[in-house]
Each structure stands twice: as structure tokens, then as C-alpha cells.
Amino acid sequence: MRTKACSLWTALVTPFNQDNTIDFDSIKTLATAQADSGNGILLLGSTGEGLALNKDEQFAIVDYVCNLKLNTPLMVAVAGYNLPDQKQWIKRCNSLAIDAYLLGTPMYAKPGVVGQTQWFSQLLDTADFPCMLYNVPSRSGVEIPVKTVQALQDHPNCWAMKEASGDISKFLQYRQFCPKIELFSGEDAMMPYLAPAGVKGLVSVCANVWPQATLAYVNQCLHGSPEQNQELFPLWDNAVQALFSVANPIPAKVLLHHQQCISTPTLRAPLTHEELTDKSELLNYDQQISLWLTKNIPIAKRFA
């Protein structure tokens, strides 16, 4: 199973043309760069503006990336609050050459233990591929209860969790009470502190703009000493803050356009690149991360 060998998943942005249509040429550029770096690809997450796309557009993107036949695992996000629609989306994607699903908590409804257990159970039953649960209370309005994950961890399709609460104590609770699933960080900057606690890898926004450097960073966190890892935190924490200075993925798209990786920094409403009025800090950390990579590229190669 290719998912088991992947420690870094890039939550890929969805590039758009100036007229807001999907820029498939730029998708190819980005996806190929991720595969060449050895990173898994997550499509249609919040970083990919998945909810700003209709289902036909979503499917066209997944189908297109599958047909690129990249030598890297592909994960597809499942997000929304209508259970029949989410199950139908999974059934549609089951026919494609993907490797995994990311299952989010239903938005707005704020279900409890029973409701979330039933929600995820039905999605897991529908999927033909391993699934990563997604705990992101800042977006869903509610955490995935530990009791829900305990109840789901024996399901054959329940492979992992993306933990993006920003709370190390919550991570430790999942680690203690749900030992059968793999835990991935959804917070780039927290990797140095989650690695000693048993994190398996990272689902990353940073890797969009720094694919090789982020892999080196993850490898250093997973295989370096605690002292070495703590030295990583100031640079990467500041770089992450620059990437989240306004709503994600606005800074990532602005920087990718600056790097000439995508044709425009266009986003779909209600997001707009015009929110980022000063990109000097972002460009500064782009240079700093590039310099860091020149000193640390052997780390990425060592664990490739």
C-alpha cells in the first residue's frame, strides 16, 4: 500500500486561469513537481479550494491527475454535510486510480460522538481505499471525539488521522486511546514537537511552495534528535506564519505565481489574492527556506 510509505502529503492548490476556469497545465506542473520530490498529493482539500468547485470540476481534476500516471500516491478529499452526496462522490472516485480518501467532519452541524461515528462509518463502508480522518475544529466547528476514533480504528478502511487542532494534548489523547491508526500533523510548524510523540508524517501547505525543503524538514523531524528538531522551529514557524498571514491558500498561490509555477494567483470567491497587500515577508522567507535547503538537501535524499 503506497500510503504506508508516504510521510509527506502536499495539500495541493487548485490553479485557475484569469477567467476562473481550471488551469490544467499548471496542475500538471505542480503535481509533477510533487511527485519528483517524493511527496504524496492530496487533491480538493481546503487548500485546493475544493468547496469552490462543483462536482464535475472536482472529478475532472482527480481524473486528470490520475491520467498523468505519476509515481506517487494520490488522496482525494471528501468534504460537505450531505451524507448521500458524500457517499455518491466516493462511489464515483472508487473507479479511479487513487490511493486514499481524506474524510472531514460534516460542516456546520457540529455532531457529537454518535452522529460522527455514524457519519464516518458510512463513508468508510463506501470507500474502496484507505481513509484518513480529518480533525480540524477551526473549520468544522467541532472536534472528532476520541470515542469516535476508538470506535472506528478497527474498521479495515480507517488508516490514519490528520490532526489539525493545533493542540498537542489532543494529539496525545488520540495517540494514547487510538493506537491502531497512524497520526499525521495538519500543522506544518508543529512537526518538531509532534515527532517525538509518534507522528507518522505531515499533510502540508508549505510543500506547495517548498516541496523539497518541506520533505527535508519532515525527515529531519522524524529522524533527527529532539535538540536538532527544536532548532528547526524558529525558521519554519515564521515561514508558516508568512504563509498564513491571510486566509489559506492566498499566500501560497501568490508565491507560486512569483515562482512562475502557476500562470495566475487567481482564487475563487470569496477568496482573492488582493487580500495580501504586502508580500515582502513571504518573499523573504522564500529566500530563507531556499538557503536552508541548500544546507539540508542530503537529509531529503538520505531517507528518500
Q: What is the pLDDT of residue 96?
A: 98
**Is residue 97 within 8 Å of 63, Cβ to Cβ?**
no
Q: What is the pLDDT of residue 183?
A: 98
Joined grid coordinates for residue 89: 462522490
Sign of the CA dihedral running 86, 50, 102, 127: positive
Provide the annotated binding site.
Answer: 47, 203
- Active-site residue set: 134, 162
**Is residue 119 within 8 Å of 106, Cβ to Cβ?**
yes
DSSP one-letter code for 44: S
What's the average pLDDT block by block, 10 residues per block, for the chain (304 residues)?
87 98 99 97 98 97 98 96 96 98 92 97 98 92 95 98 94 96 96 94 98 95 86 94 98 99 98 97 98 77 52
**Is residue 14 within 8 Å of 46, Cβ to Cβ?**
no
Continuous segment of H or E residues that includes residue 116: helix 113-126
Any idea which residue has 476562473 for its cell?
20
d(CA 163, CA 276): 27
Q: What is the pLDDT of residue 291?
A: 95
Provide the annotated binding site for pyruvate.
Answer: 47, 203
Domain ranges in the chain are 2-302
Any idea which residue has 470569496 for its cell?
270
∠ CA 266-53-96, rounded to 5°: 120
d(CA 12, CA 211): 11
Tell me, which fold does domain 2-302 have in CATH?
TIM Barrel (3.20.20)
